[in-house]
Amino acid sequence: MKTNLKITGGVYLVIDPSMDRDLLLSRLGKALKAGVNAVQLWGNWPPGADKRSCISAIANLCRAYGVPLLIDNDWELLIGLPDLDGVHFDQIPSNLNDIKKIVGRPFATGITCSGDLEVVRWAAANGMDYISFCAMFPSPSAGSCDIVTPSTVKEAREVTTLPLFVSGGMTPENILSLRLLTPFDGVAVISGVMSHADPYGKVKLYQDALNTMIQ
C-alpha cells in the first residue's frame, strides 16, 4: 500500500525498540489494524541493536497499512533506509535545509514543543508537518518534558494551522477533559497502547475519545 506522508491528526503511536522484538511487532500489528495514523520509532535503542533489521521489520508492517514511519532525531538513518518516511525532532535542528539536501527525497517532519511558542512559530515558518506538545500530564516516558498548560496549546492554535498533537500521560479519559480546554488534532501515545495486551482495543478507545462530539 502506498504510504501517506501527510500527518494530520488521530493516533500517533510511538514505539520503543528496546521492547522484545516479537512482542513489539505483534502489538504494533494490532494497533495498525485499529487505524493508527503515524508511527514513530523512539531512539531508545538497546546496546548492539541491529537498527537496519529492526526498522525494516517495522516498516514492512507500517507499509502494509499505508502508515508513515518516522525516526526520532536520528535523521541520518533516512539516507540509507528508504523504508523510513520521516524524522521527528525533539528540538529545533540547526541545519534543516542541509538535512533536506543530504537526504535528497521528500520526508515528513515534526517537532516537539515543551511550551515554547517560539518553537511553534519556527515550525510554521520552516514547513514542519506537525507539532507535538510534551507533556500534558506526568508520564514515565515523558520524564524529560516540562508540563505544558492547555492554554499554551490554545495559543499555538492561534499562531498556526499545523496539526497539533498532545502527548505525555494521555488517556482516553483525559483526552475528553482536555478537549474542553483547548483544540488539538491528535494524541501521541507509547505505553497507553503498547503496554496493553489489547492494542487494537486501546487504539479504538483513543479514537473514540478524539471523535466524541464536545457539547
H/E run at residue 167: strand 164-167
* pLDDT higher than threshold 90 for residue 3: no
Mean pLDDT of 180-196: 96
Of the listed ranges 52-61, 76-85, 144-153, the one predicted with least confidence: 144-153
**Residue 19, CB half-sphere, CA atoms under 13 Å: how many?**
19
What's residue 140's pLDDT? Answer: 72
> What is the rounded distance in angstroms from the CA atom of residue 81 to the CA atom of residue 16?
19
- Counting beta carbons within 10 angstroms of the beta carbon of residue 38, is it exposed (0 to 12), middle (13 to 18) or buried (19 or more)? buried
In 80-126, where do the E strands start and end? 86-89, 108-113
The model carries a pTM of 0.95
Q: What are phi and psi of 87, to 5 degrees?
A: -135, 140
97, amino acid identity: N
Residue 144 identity (one-letter amino acid): S
Q: What is the DSSP letter of 20?
A: -
Mean pLDDT in the chain?
95
- Helix intervals (H) in 65-95: 77-80
Mean pLDDT across 164-174: 96
**pLDDT class for 214, splitting at 50, 70, 90?**
low
Confidence category of residue 105, pLDDT binned at 50, 70, 90? very high
pLDDT cut 70: percent of the chain above it: 97
Note the pLDDT of residue 146: 87
Q: Is the pLDDT of residue 215 over 80?
A: no
C-alpha cell at 132: 507535538
User: How confident is the model over 20-46, as pLDDT tens digits?
Assistant: 999 999 999 999 999 999 999 999 999
Give all domains of the chain, ordered by start, each with its CATH number.
10-112+169-210 (3.20.20.70)
Q: Please, which residues have CB within 8 angstroms of residue 73's CB and are 6 or more apart in sequence?
A: 43, 87, 88, 89, 90
Average pLDDT, integer, range 139-165: 89
